[in-house]
A and B are shown apart, each in its own frame.
Chain A
Amino acid sequence: MHVQRAIEAAGLPTILITVDPAQSAQARPPRAVHPTGHGIGYPVGPAGDKAEQRRTLEAALTALTDPIEPGTIREIS
């Protein structure tokens, strides 16, 4: 997404949580994770499922600490 690229270009590390990796890949995101099992409308986790939402956020932020090739989308589960 353009906003992510602009933020990264301004010097801040970013991480995108996407549930549409095919579409997100076209936008060439600097860093992205795809939580498999989550669908459109609940990228962070299902409504009310605090534990799953927390797990997704921890996995997404932790992905920042493990450098990957820019532009790739990592699957997290």
Chain B
Amino acid sequence: MELSRRAIPYTPFEKELKDCTVALVSTSGTHLKSQEPYDVSGDTSYRVIPSDTPASELMVSHEHYDHAQADADINAVFPIDRLREMAADGFIKAVNTDFYGMMGYTLKMKGVLEETAPEIARKLERSATDIVLLTGG
């Protein structure tokens, strides 16, 4: 089903945060150092980032914003450590097994609309995730 741009999809939130598994999806250009970097001239692809990845194994490939803060501390754009801490101390129940990174810069929006976005949504919908937190760069 394709929604008009004017329509805003909305799912009510009816749980308590402490009972929720949270997934992180970020268009900040974050990926594992061992993964192929994004094509900084434009890229519709995404990377699966296991939520138990040490922050030191993550990096940003993006040329459309100053990512010096993220280079120093990935949590500035991709708060993987903070979310794990929030799960550990009970503010949320858990973090989802997988987080997702993308670059969020492309001239091929059709590819994002018709492929990348529905694919990530489908994977999250089939996971334990209750809430999805999104960050940009």
Contacts and interface: CB of A to CB of B under 8 A. Distances in A.
Contacts of A61: 17, 22, 91-92, 131, 133
Nearest to B85: A54
Contacts, number: 170
B135 A65 contact: no
B120 interface: yes
- Which of under 10, 10 to 19, 20 to 34, or 35 or more describes the interface residues of B? 35 or more
A62 interface: yes
A65 B13 contact: yes
Interface of B: 1, 3, 5-6, 8-13, 16-17, 22, 25, 27, 65-70, 72-73, 75-79, 81-83, 85-86, 91-92, 102, 104, 109, 112-113, 116-118, 120-122, 124-125, 129-137
- Which of under 10, 10 to 19, 20 to 34, or 35 or more describes the interface residues of A? 35 or more
Contacts of A64: 13, 17, 131
